[in-house]
A and B are shown apart, each in its own frame.
Chain A
Amino acid sequence: MNLAKLNDIAAATKEKCKNKKRVCVCAGAACISSGAIQTLDSMKKIVKEKGLDKTVDVIPVGCIGACHQGPLVKILPDETIYQKITPAEAALIAEKHLAKNEVVKSLLFATGAGKESPVNSNETDFFKKQRKVVLETCGNINPESIEDYIAVGGYQALYNILSTLSQEEVIAEVKAGGLRGRGGAGFPTGLKWEMVHRYINSTKYVVCNGDEGDPGAFMDRSVLEGDPHRILEGMAIAGYAVGAQKGYIYVRAEYPLAIKRLETAIKQARVQGLLGDKIFETDFNFDIEIRIGAGAFVCGEETALLASIEGKRGTPRPRPPYPAESGLWGKPTLINNVETFANIPKLILIGGKEFASVGTQKSAGTKVFALAGKIMNTGLVEVPMGITLREIIFEIGGGIPGGKKFKAAQTGGPSGGCIPESHLDTPVDYESLGALGTIMGSGGMIIMDETSCMVDVARYFMDFCMNESCGKCVPCRVGTKQMFDLLNKICTGQGSPADLALLEELAPYVRETSLCGLGMTAPNPLMSTLRYFREEYMAHINDHWCPAGVCKMEPAAQLAEAHS
């Protein structure tokens, strides 16, 4: 592969699509489960039958974002999105929109009731405030076609760095971009690359963390399914910068579609000489292998993940030494999250300075969130850092369904905390969320309304952490179990003030003594619900009453016994 060939592929692919409409049928996991493949097949068949295939391309694409309205069909270049499209409705769209350029108003993607839906989906409330960097081409290109990716500028960034930048210059660019790790903790990416780069004369590895174990989160899955080449390119750039020749992508077995698309992408990249030896006719060699995890949350923790790749039991080990110093098989290893790598090609193409112009001073760029729970528009959104929670939930997300009242948003899943109504105007950035007692996390955002009991929520997440604890260290193994039992007692109306006091002593202890991040963050949901919704705990304890009407209280007779 060289630049001329890359440009040829891009030009030829663009030429093929010139003056043509492109029908993108979402083939993300969510849309597939609501019948997208049938819609896709029917669309293809009808387009062919009607002889439209000279002017129309029908392709499967990755997640378009508005998963709650799937199967989604997007028409380019019109940017029109149709929602909940059955095979029959696909025929209607072909007849009207594709053949006669007439918009089918009744099927347009709608956000918020009562309003007329804009024909250009970018003008809808759902998309208007979004800013797509990571998801720039997800939903517009065929994830199983390397030509599609190249046509939108793919692998250009890899060519640019290999032909013009030194390793140090690449790292300097990433640092200038102010990119921070999207896997949860927000560690500066450039700094991490530099730490790995520092080790000389050693075999090194690049690892992509696609474990994504947060309940309710599907950002990384969507990127892997929708734009796998972007990850490969980001990893190859990282490999060059830190001096590694080998990369691993760790994906959970529950993501078969992501694995399949990655396998296809890796094969294609190898054929095109974009992975393997002498990439772009330089001395840079880099190849990538997939490793499949068995779906343990703790295997997202970096040292457990590395142990798992090595074929061992996936349990964390004390850090330091950090993976940058001693990672896979004891070698310096760079480990970044899927979304972190997905930011890299764009960052390189537009330059660090331009990249950092989006977002806030300390949190540059955008963040992908998976909206879930009691919200109108569930799905995948990408927003500039610094946007307020209110904008995400009430403008993009369309607010709370059924006329119910907003109660809290949980970010960071089982490792995070809740944000009550009074803090909805907080800007979304690493520091502000930290100050509220929660974390940015990897991008799960669960919205709760007045029908959620916060004690029950705390119990739910504690149950999760207890079951996912690896069992290696005492505070997490026994601490989460004892905290769960105490929460369970409170939720069934058998808790006493002494139980609450014990919980409040146990929580900071588990946080400060656990071996890895799982135990260190497991008390977060408990501590933050106590911080903002203490009165709900008191109602359960003192009045044996669940204000939200969720918890079933044990009958009074048993109560007396339990207290005696």
Chain B
Amino acid sequence: MTPLAAPTTTILVTIDEKTYSADPGETILDVCKREGINIPTLCFLEGVSTVGACRLCLIEIEGTRKLLPACATVVAPFQKVKTNSDRLKKNRRMTLELLFSERNHICSVCVANYNCRLQDLAHEVGMDHVRFPYLFPDCNVDGTNKIYNIDHNRCIMCTKCVRTCDEVEGAHTWDVRGRGFESRIIADFDEAWGTSPTCTLCGKCVSVCPTGALWHKQSVQNNMKKSPEMVSELTAKRGRKG
């Protein structure tokens, strides 16, 4: 359902003082990607639905008090967008600090070391130390699956696995249990992954997981490579966009 006043022709938007044209319905992140403007993203995955949950891609729009997620905000005519103000940079650093403080992200002993989106982002936004106490909640490692492991200590609750499993593989093995700080990714009705009757062992969740939470059993420290593009390419071939 489109609003009555929805524009149907090309839209002009100004991003960081430069003007670009965009198609109606495109998000600010779409335009930025095309134009080579870097906005940090963590929960966004091309090809599956958008949740706007990590809050790293927040941008400023002139005349709007709220900061809005670039991944979930559709362009409007003559919008003036700032993607990299001091205020935004400070917030991004804080978001990463909180994420690092939440569970266990000790990189040096992680399979995804050097191949981790969380780690890359920390570099990118200059988050060099965490001022909050590490919370280390009681999280387990589920090694019951034949081929993969899930280590909840590394999970950042981006729900990419949940969305990919449901929307691309169609299995809906993964979901979320509990709420707030206590929420966890679960297999089926919170069962051991290895006994899941719905899991097809396709491994897409492992490919899209941005950290070392989902990994191949044979990988060791530093050598688990991730390939989220695989899922995006697959969905593009099927003619679908997130």
Contact = CB atoms under 8 A, between A and B. Distances in A.
Interface of A: 198-200, 202, 296, 298, 313, 317-318, 320, 325-326, 330-332, 466-482, 485, 502, 505-506, 509, 512-515
B182 interface: yes
Contact of B131 (A200, A476, A477, A502): A502
Contacts of A331: 1
B53 A325 contact: no
Nearest to A318: B52
7 contacts: A202-B1, A313-B176, A331-B1, A471-B178, A477-B183, A482-B101, A502-B131
B182 A318 contact: no
B133 interface: yes
Contact of A482 (B53, B69, B74, B98): B98
B95 interface: yes
Nearest to A520: B66
B74 to A, nearest CB: 8
B91 A513 contact: yes
A423 to B, nearest CB: 24
Contacts of A512: 66-67, 91
Contacts of B68: 318
B73 interface: yes
A485 B131 CA distance: 13
A475 B101 contact: no
A478 B181 contact: yes
Interface in B48-62: 51-55, 58
A470 B95 contact: no
Contact of A199 (B4, B53, B99, B183): B4
A200 B5 CA distance: 12
Given A313-B176, A468-B179, A468-B180, A502 B132 contact: yes
Contacts of B54: 473-474
B94 interface: yes
Given A199-B4, A506-B94, A513-B91, A296 B58 contact: no
A468 B178 CA distance: 10
A482 B132 contact: yes
Contacts of B74: 320
Contact of B69 (A202, A318, A476, A477): A318
B206 interface: no
Contacts of B37: none
A473 B53 CA distance: 4
B157 interface: yes
A198 B135 CA distance: 49
Nearest to B49: A317
Interface string B1-33: 101100000000000000000000000000000
Contacts of A472: 51, 53, 157, 159
A108 B142 CA distance: 66
B58 A471 contact: no
B180 A469 contact: yes
Contact of A469 (B52, B72, B94, B181): B181
A485 B51 CA distance: 28
A296 B102 CA distance: 23
Nearest to A476: B180
A318 to B, nearest CB: 4
A116 B129 CA distance: 68
Interface in B74-100: 74, 90-91, 94-95, 98-99
* Interface size grouping (class) on chain B: 35 or more
Nearest to B98: A478
Nearest to A204: B1
A202 B133 CA distance: 51
A471 B4 contact: no
Contacts of A514: 55
Given A478-B101, A478-B181, A513-B58, 7 more contacts: A202-B1, A320-B73, A468-B179, A469-B180, A472-B51, A474-B95, A482-B132
Contacts of B58: 513
A384 to B, nearest CB: 30
A509 B132 CA distance: 14
A513 B179 contact: no
Contact of A515 (B52, B132, B183): B52
B135 A332 contact: no
A509 B94 contact: yes
Contacts of B159: 472
B1 A317 contact: no
B1 A325 contact: yes
Nearest to B133: A485
Contact of B4 (A198, A317, A469, A481): A198
Given A466-B180, A477-B180, A317 B91 contact: no
A325 B55 contact: no
Given A199-B3, A199-B4, A318-B52, A474 B180 contact: no
B58 to A, nearest CB: 6
A481 B180 contact: yes
Contacts of A485: 133, 135
Contacts of A509: 90-91, 94
Given A482-B98, A512-B91, A515-B53, A470 B1 contact: no
- Between A198, A298, A478, the greatest number of chain B beta carbons within 10 A of the residue's beta carbon is seen for A478
A470 B101 CA distance: 18
- Between B1, B3, B178, the greatest number of chain A beta carbons within 10 A of the residue's beta carbon is seen for B1
Contacts of A476: 180
B180 A332 contact: no
A474 B179 contact: no
A396 to B, nearest CB: 35
A480 B98 CA distance: 10
Nearest to B184: A471
B55 A471 contact: no
B226 to A, nearest CB: 20
B124 to A, nearest CB: 16
Nearest to B69: A318
Contact of A471 (B73, B131, B181): B181
The 9 closest A-B pairs by CB, nearest first: A471-B183, A469-B180, A318-B52, A478-B98, A318-B72, A481-B181, A471-B180, A513-B55, A472-B53
A469 B53 CA distance: 13
A220 B46 CA distance: 42
A513 B95 contact: yes
A317 B66 CA distance: 15
A326 B176 CA distance: 24
Nearest to A501: B131
B181 A466 contact: yes
A325 B157 contact: no
Contacts of B131: 502
Contacts of A475: 55, 94-95, 98
A421 B4 CA distance: 50
A293 to B, nearest CB: 14
